[in-house]
Amino acid sequence: MKTALIYSRVSTEEQAEEGKSFETQIKLCKKWAKDNDYQIQETYIDRGKSATTLNRPALQDLLAKCKDDIGIDAILVQDTDRLARNTLDHLTIKAILKKKKINIISVSQPMLDDSPEGNLIDTILASVNAFQSQITGRKVSKVLEEKAKMGWYPGGRPPLGYKNSENPNPTSTLDKRIVVFDPETSPYLKQMFEKYSTNSYSAQKLADWLNSKGVKSVNGGLLSHSTVHNYLSDTFYIGKFLWNDKEYVGKHEKLIDKELFNKVQELLCERNQNASRKRIHNFLLSGFVYCADCKSRFWAEKHTKKNNDTYEHYYCSKCKTGTYTDVGKLEKAVENIFQKIELSKEYTKKIMDSALAMIKDLRENTDIERRKLNIKKTQLEKALKELEDQRFVYKTINDEKYLSISARYEGDIKQIEIDLGRLTVDKSEKIKKLDKLLRLAENIGLAYKEAKPSLKRIYLKMFFEKFEVSKGKIVKYHLSKDIKELIENGSVRVKTTGLPL
Q: In this complex, which beta carbon is closest to Zn ion, that of residue 196 or of residue 477?
A: 477
Q: In this complex, which beta carbon is closest to Zn ion, that of residue 223 or of residue 291?
A: 291
Q: Does 294 bind Zn ion (CB under 5 A)?
A: yes
- Shortest approach of Zn ion to residue 296 CB, angstroms? 5
- Shortest approach of Zn ion to residue 200 CB, angstroms? 42
Cβ count near 428 (within 10 Å): 11
C-alpha distances out from residue 249 to 153, 179, 237, 413, Å: 9, 13, 11, 30
Q: Which stretch binds Zn ion (CB under 5 A): 30-38, 73-81, 294-302, 458-466?
A: 294-302
- Shortest approach of Zn ion to residue 311 CB, angstroms? 20
Q: Which stretch binds Zn ion (CB under 5 A): 45-53, 291-299, 437-445, 474-482?
A: 291-299
Q: In this complex, which beta carbon is closest to Zn ion, that of residue 297 or of residue 370?
A: 297
- Shortest approach of Zn ion to residue 475 CB, angstroms? 12
Q: How far is residue 165's CA from residue 149's CA, in Å, rounded to a whole number?
A: 19
- Shortest approach of Zn ion to residue 481 CB, angstroms? 25
Q: Given its phi and psi angles, is residue 28 left (phi above 0), alpha (psi -120 to 50 degrees) or beta? A: alpha
Q: In this complex, which beta carbon is closest to Zn ion, that of residue 54 or of residue 319?
A: 319
Question: Of 5, 4, 9, which Cα lies nearest the Cα of 85?
Answer: 9
- Shortest approach of Zn ion to residue 331 CB, angstroms? 19
Q: Which stretch binds Zn ion (CB under 5 A): 287-295, 305-313, 448-456, 480-488?
A: 287-295
Q: Does 297 bind Zn ion (CB under 5 A)?
A: no
Question: Of 431, 440, 356, 446, which Cα lies nearest the Cα of 124?
Answer: 440
Binding marks (x or -) toward Zn ion, 165..194, rule CB under 5 A?
A: ------------------------------
Binders in 315-374 for Zn ion, by CB under 5 A: 316, 318-319
Q: Which residue is nearest to Zn ion (CB)?
A: 291
Q: In this complex, which beta carbon is closest to Zn ion, that of residue 475 or of residue 487?
A: 475
CB distance 10 to 18 below 8 Å:
no
Q: In this complex, which beta carbon is closest to Zn ion, that of residue 261 or of residue 298?
A: 298
- Shortest approach of Zn ion to residue 472 CB, angstroms? 13
Element (H, E) at 156: none
What is the size of the binding site for Zn ion (CB under 5 A)?
7
Q: In this complex, which beta carbon is closest to Zn ion, that of residue 316 or of residue 341?
A: 316
Q: Does 475 bind Zn ion (CB under 5 A)?
A: no
What is the DSSP annotation of 312-360?
Answer: EEEEETTT-TT--EEHHHHHHHHHHHHTTEEE-HHHHHHHHHHHHHHHH
Q: Does 292 bind Zn ion (CB under 5 A)?
A: no
Q: In this complex, which beta carbon is closest to Zn ion, that of residue 160 or of residue 291?
A: 291
Q: How far is residue 188's CA from residue 185's CA, in Å, rounded to a whole number?
A: 6
Cα–chain center distance at 379 = 35
Q: How far is residue 315's CA from residue 471's CA, in Å, rounded to a whole number?
A: 10
Binding marks (x or -) toward Zn ion, 76..115, rule CB under 5 A?
A: ----------------------------------------
- Shortest approach of Zn ion to residue 289 CB, angstroms? 11
Q: To 10 degrees, the CA torsion angle through 386, 392, 394, 395?
A: 120
Q: In this complex, which beta carbon is closest to Zn ion, that of residue 293 or of residue 412?
A: 293
- Shortest approach of Zn ion to residue 292 CB, angstroms? 8
Q: In this complex, which beta carbon is closest to Zn ion, that of residue 319 or of residue 337?
A: 319
What pairs with residue 164 in β-bridges?
179
Binders in 304-323 for Zn ion, by CB under 5 A: 316, 318-319
Q: In this complex, which beta carbon is closest to Zn ion, that of residue 316 or of residue 492?
A: 316
- Shortest approach of Zn ion to residue 470 CB, angstroms? 9
Q: How far is residue 237's CA from residue 186's CA, in Å, rounded to a whole number?
A: 10
Cβ count near 388 (within 10 Å): 12
Q: Which stretch binds Zn ion (CB under 5 A): 108-116, 200-208, 283-291, 436-444?
A: 283-291
Q: In this complex, which beta carbon is closest to Zn ion, that of residue 77 or of residue 474?
A: 474
Buried b (16+ CB within 10 A) or exposed e, 446-455: ebbeebeeeb
What is the DSSP annotation of 191-234?
Answer: HHHHHHHTT---HHHHHHHHHHTTPPPTTSS---HHHHHHHHT-
Rule CB under 5 A: choose which of 6, 285, 291, 460 binds Zn ion: 291
Q: Is 83 exposed, middle or buried (0-12, 13-18, 19+ CB in 10 A)?
A: buried
Helix (H), strand (E) counts: the chain: 15, 16
Buried b (16+ CB within 10 A) or exposed e, 54-71: eebebbeebbeebeeeee
DSSP letter for 389, please: I
- Shortest approach of Zn ion to residue 317 CB, angstroms? 8
- Shortest approach of Zn ion to residue 316 CB, angstroms? 3
| Residue ranges binding Zn ion (CB under 5 A) | 291, 293-294, 296, 316, 318-319
